Amino acid sequence: MLQAALFDMDGVIVDNRDAHLRAFEHFAARHGVTDFDARTLLPCFGSTNAVIMARLFGRDDLPADEVERFSREKEEIYRELYDPIMRPAEGLVDLLEALRAAGMRIAVGSSAPRINVDFVLERCGIASYFDAVASGSEIARSKPDPEVYLLAARKLGVDPHDCVVFEDAFVGLEAARRAGAKAVAIASTFPRELIEARGDYDLLIDGFPGLTVTDLQRLWA
């Protein structure tokens, strides 16, 4: 039965796909990566920066300290670009209020570094709704490995099978499924038709408006 809700961040809590794409374009230009189309990174969205940087530079042997340095630089660009326009996804706060009223535990399970998660939650004024955060800064294995969602459930003290996960990315949906949770796919980063064709989910929504706790509880029916 439903006891907790786990939210991915990028593309779920905030609709920030385009901000990340612009940030990667700026970053690539700085580092002389020519003929670069940031959209080629979309299949990696939901993964950690280590995975994305390997794809961007066409190398899987980047030293860990270099990946960390590149990641910090790119995320600084992202935060500068996104800060002026950032806001919670439409309908999110209403859903968080409803989950709270129903006694549900709530956590973030994101591949993003902790500094980005805190940046978004604080700037959007929604940090108080979340009982726990599991971030890319705390895990060894990127989505589609379920580690981040297992960690989020453990921090909440809830069995993953009693959690619903909100995800926009295919690797995230796979991670949710492998964790044993119910998966709600959100058509924000990828078109609904593509998710219908490729996604493994229990419920597909275009956004949060109109979604109720009862709708989520029915996933266990």
- Domain borders along the chain are 4-15+86-220, 17-84
* Position 45 confidence tier, pLDDT thresholds 50, 70, 90: confident
pLDDT value of residue 182: 98
* Range of weakest confidence among 59-73, 149-163, 171-185: 59-73
pLDDT value of residue 91: 98
Is pLDDT at 41 greater than 90 in this prediction? no
pLDDT value of residue 40: 87
Q: Of the candidates 4, 207, 214, which has an alpha carbon nearest to the alpha carbon of residue 104?
A: 4
pLDDT value of residue 195: 95
* Position 67 confidence tier, pLDDT thresholds 50, 70, 90: confident
Token readout for 201 is 């989910």
Is pLDDT at 60 greater than 90 in this prediction? no
C-alpha torsion sign, points 201, 122, 83, 138: negative
- CA–CA separation, 197 vs 199, rounded Å? 6
CATH homologous superfamily of 4-15+86-220 equals HAD superfamily/HAD-like (3.40.50.1000)
More confident residue, 36 or 90: 90
What is this structure's pTM? Answer: 0.83
**Measured in Å, how far apart are the chain's first and last C-alpha atoms?**
9
As a whole number, the mean pLDDT across the chain is 93
Residues above pLDDT 90, as percent of the chain: 65
What 3-state DSSP class applies to 112? coil
pLDDT in tens, 87-132: 999 999 999 999 999 999 999 999 988 988 998 999 999 999 999 9
Mean pLDDT of 193-208: 95
Strand partners, 108: 7, 133
pLDDT value of residue 149: 98
Contact 119, 19 (CB under 8 A): no
- CA–CA separation, 194 vs 77, rounded Å? 29
More confident residue, 56 or 151: 151
Token readout for 154 is 């453990």
In degrees, rounded to 5, the angle at the alpha carbon of residue 108 between the alpha carbons of residues 104 and 109 is 120
Contact 110, 9 (CB under 8 A): yes
Residue 23 CB contacts under 8 Å (≥ 6 apart), including other chains: 74, 75, 77, 78, 81, 82
Alpha carbon 174 to chain centroid, angstroms: 13
pLDDT value of residue 212: 98
- CA–CA separation, 107 vs 127, rounded Å? 10
- CA–CA separation, 45 vs 41, rounded Å? 7
pLDDT in tens, 157-183: 999 999 999 999 999 999 999 999 999
Strand partners, 14: 10
Q: Of the candidates 86, 85, 84, 88, which has an alpha carbon nearest to the alpha carbon of residue 97?
A: 88
Alpha carbon 175 to chain centroid, angstroms: 11
Q: Which residue type occupies 4?
A: A
Strand duo 203-205 + 182-186: pairing: parallel
